[in-house]
Amino acid sequence: MGEKQRGVTIWLTGLSGAGKTTICRFLEKKLRSQEYKIEVLDGDVVRKNLSKGLTFSKEDRDENIRRIGFVAHLLTRNNIIVLVSVISPYRVIREEVKAQIGDFIEVYVNAPLEVCEQRDVKGLYKKARVGEIFDFTGIDDLYEIPLKPDVECKTNQESVAESANKILSKLEELGYINSLLLSQLHNNYSLI
């Protein structure tokens, strides 16, 4: 890598099952292979550790996002690339953490609700549809689509590699990673 790494938070937002975690894992692997310092804040993992005890009320969801944003801010200012994979359904709170962090790339992981329901490995949509889970984003609680995301990944139309490439291209364009990494990744896509 050579030069000093710049910190940035890559915030992947979208419905449950849209592909946030999958893209995040792919990005983590590619960036680590080039010796970038990475931390991953995944919504499910954070809820079990940092936000244990919070409910899914709007207030608690906002508090969860604030906590994730605070940790991401600390890591970013210490020159770490932070990958955040969390539904974060409300626009105002996403804007709040973006303003706090500064070096922030909002990625809208976009897949139609029907596609997300088909991918539902945890069975959460099914439970929400029959009333076993309440306030579930996309069913009986809203998801506010980002108005001007830095990157939009349409996971029902593109591969994980194509989605990740869009994010890596944005990182390179903004000077967070060097173009050598991007060309190496392009050469490796045929192996995926």
Whether 171 is in a domain gets the answer yes
Q: Are 45 and 128 in contact (CB under 8 A)?
A: no
Domain membership flag for residue 158: yes
Distance CA 146, CA 152 (A): 9
Each residue's pLDDT tens digit, 81-106: 999 999 999 999 999 999 999 999 99
In this structure, are residues 73 and 101 in contact, taking their beta carbons and an 8 Å threshold? yes
Q: Greatest CA span in the chain, whole angstroms?
A: 54
Burial of residue 178 (number of CB atoms within 10 Å: 0-12, 13-18, 19+): middle
* Residue 108 domain-assigned (yes or no): yes
Q: Is the pLDDT of residue 182 over 70?
A: no
- Residues with catalytic function: 88
pLDDT in tens, 9-29: 999 999 998 999 999 999 999
Residue 166 domain flag? yes
What is the number of domains present in the chain? Answer: 1
To which residue do tokens 């996002």 refer? 65
Of the candidates 158, 142, 155, 160, the one whose C-alpha atom is nearest the C-alpha of residue 116 is 155
- For residue 107, give the CATH number of its domain: 3.40.50.300
Residue 77, pLDDT score: 95
* Strand (E) or helix (H) holding 82: strand 81-85
pLDDT digits (tens, 9 = 90+) for 27-79: 999 999 988 999 999 877 777 777 667 777 788 888 889 999 999 999 999 99
On whether residue 34 sits in a domain, the answer given is yes
Whether the pTM exceeds 0.75: the reply is yes
175 or 192, higher pLDDT? 175
Name the residue with higher pLDDT: 1 or 119.
119
Q: Is residue 192 part of a domain?
A: no
pLDDT at position 180, please?
A: 62
Specify the pLDDT at position 135.
78
Domain that holds residue 140: 8-186
pLDDT of residue 185: 54
Predicted confidence band of residue 131 (pLDDT cuts 50, 70, 90)? confident
Q: Is 2 within the bounds of a domain?
A: no
Whether 3 maps to a domain, the answer reads: no
pLDDT at position 55, please? Answer: 72
Residue bearing the bigger pLDDT, 123 or 47: 123
